[in-house]
Amino acid sequence: MDAPLALYRRYRPETFAEVIGQDHVTEPLRHALAANRVHHAYLFSGPRGCGKTTSARILARALNCERAPIADPCGECQSCRDLARGGPGSVDVIEIDAASHGGVDDARDLRERAFFAPVSSRYKVYIIDEAHMVSPQGFNALLKLVEEPPPHLKFIFATTEPDKVIGTIRSRTHHYPFRLVPPKQLGDYLHQLCEAEGVRLEPTALPLVVRAGAGSVRDTLSVLDQLLGGAGPEGVTYELAVQLLGYTPDSLLDEAVSAFAARDGGTVFSVVDKVIESGQDPRRFAEDLLQRLRDLVILAAVPTAVETGLLDVPGDRAERLAQQVAGFGPSELTRAADIVSAALTDFRGATAPRLMLELMCARILVPGADNSTEGFQARLERIERRLSGGGTAPAPDHAPVPPAVSSPPAAGPASAPSVAPSRPQEPSPPAPAPAPRPQTAPDSAPEPWGESAPRPQENAGPAPQPPAPSAPSAPPAEPPAPAPGSAAPATPAPEQPAPGALSTADVRRLWPQILDRIQHLRRFTWVMLSQNAQVAGVQGSTLTISLVNAGARDSFMNSGSDRIVAQALQDVLGVEWRIEAIVDPATQPGPGTGGGQAAAPPAAPEPSRPVARVPDAVRQALREPAPQRAAAVDPDAGVDPDDPVLDSGAADAEALLAEQLGAQIIDESEG
């Protein structure tokens, strides 16, 4: 018994209605045939296997059908039977392969025979396949015939490269561009063929067949024919398709993608070893990985891509994709896809494909070595996922702090300062705090947490305690100092931050950026914090700020500056914290440091510094509540009553005067 014909020959369409994926071509041709408005020359162009020659044969059948003009051949007349699938053919329909008949002599011979009338049909039709192979001299020999053919002559040129057909020929034809068939439409067509053949095709194997065909119907049917020939009683299975087509199994891709999400280099390189040891092509593995990353990029951008049909994947695979996309950010996925895409270009002519594959995986695993914008965004997305509690568990942010640093001893009894008996005593300085992490430049990005080793400076001993301040005049609002011999309250031990949480050292490192944001929100708050405050600590969702005296603290809270700081923290760090203010006379904020540096011993005051006396009336007016002062402002004086400076207390006014005039403020009542 003879073997059956190939699938693409057994199922070649016989009417325009059977041609799939080319409605933009078949519908206009059917209308032209039905209205008897057929041109004398056509140019069909498009990728291979998309139906150009088949459509040319259908057009020739419809032209010579006895029932013409008709949109589709009847299939009953002698001409239709001769040109049908498996028919003997017709002497009036001549197919020429231009690859072997493209010379000028062939064109002259065609021109001489074209003037003879058809034998038994209405038209003599020339179907010139691979028309781009005709030489320019051959086209020029046919030019006059194509421009003014006899009434019984029709030309149909089919080519994959229409640009190589000379312009004088193209201008005399009706050009119909064919396209690749969409995957979904091609998959439905394969299901119909499998049902007609009585063979079972697994749903997981269907996307592999469609992908191997790359939109070409003939190539897809050839792949399916190969799988049907090697299928057993269970039909075309996923394992059979993977082995015959050389694709990477989904299990191996799942293992690789999950390892990339967890930054597990050992698993990634073990997958590479499995690829090489199993004899698979490294380039094919990279192509399959890029296809998987493409699916993840789409699913990250459109979470409903599977439900809407944007991604055509089985249900169990859709669940795996949803789990995998949760371990990446959009920038991480696009960066990994860019790296794989660039590596595919490097694979061409590579003498060590395994090395190229391993280098590609190493670049994906180490975004810290990537100084591009994509690498920086990938590191930033990892930090954001850790702060939000999502993604994989990061490495410990800091090394364990020794007990001597995490729990400083309580300060001993405070000694009474040597001041005049008539002046109130100053409180003793608090216990020394642990030395903070070294400051970074304000414009430099913070290092990703969990990716860098702890600095040795973090475990250094406590900073040297500054000497007790001299006896300046203290505001009356300050609380009295503890009695001599009483122990000062010990500084509480800082809480160990949870993995992914911001610590006090992190806030101090980012404090310059927070101050920049505060300056844009409210300049008065910025002046107060940059001159009188430092970061004291972070406990849970509370940020504690220490100010130099009680007046500065009261002014900070009464003027609503705590809300400004909370807004700046939300803009810069993305956190919603409560702000508390305390009094710490040892506060020594440096310019743009946020209190992260140890306080240096105070320098001796300059003897030539001027002294400014503030009258009691002015001081009392400044200490009045904000509404009374705002009401007292003359509207004709050009002063805005809502100016934030008017909401500050006397301590802030004195601080601003001292800053602008460089003067030492003394009370007029001191004489």
Give yes or no: residues 200 and 278 share one domain: no
Mean pLDDT of 501-517: 83
pLDDT per residue as tens digits for the range 234-247: 888 888 888 888 88
Range of the domain at 160: 7-177
Which of 4 and 533 is assigned the larger pLDDT? 533
Q: How confident is the model at residue 405 (pLDDT cuts 50, 70, 90)?
A: very low
pLDDT per residue as tens digits for the range 170-214: 999 999 999 999 988 998 999 889 888 888 888 888 888 998 888
Give yes or no: residues 159 and 220 share one domain: no
Q: Residue 442: inside a domain, yes or no? A: no
Could you say which of 217, 245, 273 is where a domain stops? 245
The span from the CA of 415 to the CA of 428, in Å, is 7
Q: What is the model's pLDDT at position 657?
A: 52
- Number of CB atoms found within 10 A of residue 102's CB: 20
Above 90 in pLDDT, residue 506?
A: no
Give yes or no: residues 146 and 254 share one domain: no
Give yes or no: residues 581 and 646 share one domain: no
Above 60 in pLDDT, residue 217?
A: yes
- Strand order in 578-583's β-sheet? 533-539, 542-547, 578-583
Give yes or no: residues 345 and 382 share one domain: yes
Give yes or no: residues 360 and 240 share one domain: no
Q: Residue 426: inside a domain, yes or no? A: no
C-alpha distances in Å from residue 651, one per residue of 242, 547, 664 = 78, 12, 13
Could you say which of 356, 388, 420 is where a domain stops? 388
Above 90 in pLDDT, residue 410?
A: no
Above 50 in pLDDT, residue 670?
A: no
Above 70 in pLDDT, residue 434?
A: no
Q: What is the model's pLDDT at position 635?
A: 45
Q: Which region among 94-98, 99-103, 527-531, 652-656 has the lowest average model confidence (pLDDT)?
A: 652-656
Which of 217 and 231 is assigned the larger pLDDT? 217
Q: What is the model's pLDDT at position 232?
A: 81
Q: Which region among 273-282, 408-417, 606-615 has the lowest average model confidence (pLDDT)?
A: 408-417
C-alpha distances in Å from residue 503, one per residue of 51, 492, 510, 541 = 66, 15, 11, 11
The span from the CA of 176 to the CA of 28, in Å, is 10
Distance of CA 86 to the CA centre of its chain: 53
Instruction: Name which of 544, 530, 559 is nearest 648 in CA terms.
Output: 559
Above 50 in pLDDT, residue 326?
A: yes
Give yes or no: residues 350 and 371 share one domain: yes
Above 70 in pLDDT, residue 46?
A: yes
Q: How confident is the model at residue 45 (pLDDT cuts 50, 70, 90)?
A: very high
Contact between 439 and 597 under an 8 Å Cβ cutoff? The reply is yes
Could you say which of 599, 624, 641 is where a domain stops? 599
Query: Considering its fold, how many domains does the chain have in total?
Result: 5
Which of 206 and 402 is assigned the larger pLDDT? 206
Give yes or no: residues 18 and 167 share one domain: yes
DSSP single-letter state for residue 140: H
Contact between 309 and 184 under an 8 Å Cβ cutoff? The reply is yes
- Contacts of residues 396-400 at CB distance under 8 Å and 24 or more positions apart, as own/partner, are 396/450, 396/499, 397/449, 397/450, 397/497, 397/499, 397/500, 397/503, 398/454, 398/458, 398/497, 398/503, 398/505, 399/454, 399/458, 399/459
Above 70 in pLDDT, residue 617?
A: no
Buried b (16+ CB within 10 A) or exposed e, 236-274: bbbebbbebbebbbbebbbbbbbbbbebeeeebbebbeb
Q: Residue 566: inside a domain, yes or no? A: yes
Give yes or no: residues 266 and 171 share one domain: no
Q: Residue 438: inside a domain, yes or no? A: no
Above 70 in pLDDT, residue 233?
A: yes
Q: Residue 85: inside a domain, yes or no? A: yes
CATH of the domain at 301: 1.20.272.10
Give yes or no: residues 639 and 586 share one domain: no
Mean pLDDT of 469-498: 44
- pTM for the complete prediction? 0.54
Give yes or no: residues 87 and 102 share one domain: yes
Q: How confident is the model at residue 34 (pLDDT cuts 50, 70, 90)?
A: very high
Mean pLDDT of 359-368: 84
Mean pLDDT of 625-641: 44
Q: Give the max Cα distance, the chain.
A: 134
Q: Residue 234: inside a domain, yes or no? A: yes
Q: What is the model's pLDDT at position 485?
A: 42
Give yes or no: residues 138 and 157 share one domain: yes
Q: What is the model's pLDDT at position 269?
A: 93
Task: Output the 3-class SS for 527-595.
Answer: HHHHHHEEEEEEECCEEEEEECCHHHHHHHHHCCHHHHHHHHHHHHHCCCCEEEEEECCCCCCCCCCCC
Q: What is the model's pLDDT at position 298?
A: 92
CATH of the domain at 526: 3.30.300.180
Q: Residue 581: inside a domain, yes or no? A: yes
Mean pLDDT score of the chain: 75
Q: What is the model's pLDDT at position 372?
A: 65
Above 70 in pLDDT, residue 489?
A: no
Which of 80 and 5 is assigned the larger pLDDT? 80
Helix H or strand E encompassing 651 = helix 650-661
Above 70 in pLDDT, residue 78?
A: yes
CATH of the domain at 145: 3.40.50.300
pLDDT per residue as tens digits for the range 269-296: 999 999 998 888 899 999 999 999 999 9
Beta carbons within 8 Å of 391's beta carbon, 6+ residues apart: 261, 326, 327, 382, 385
Tokens of 307: 């439900």
Q: Residue 405: inside a domain, yes or no? A: no
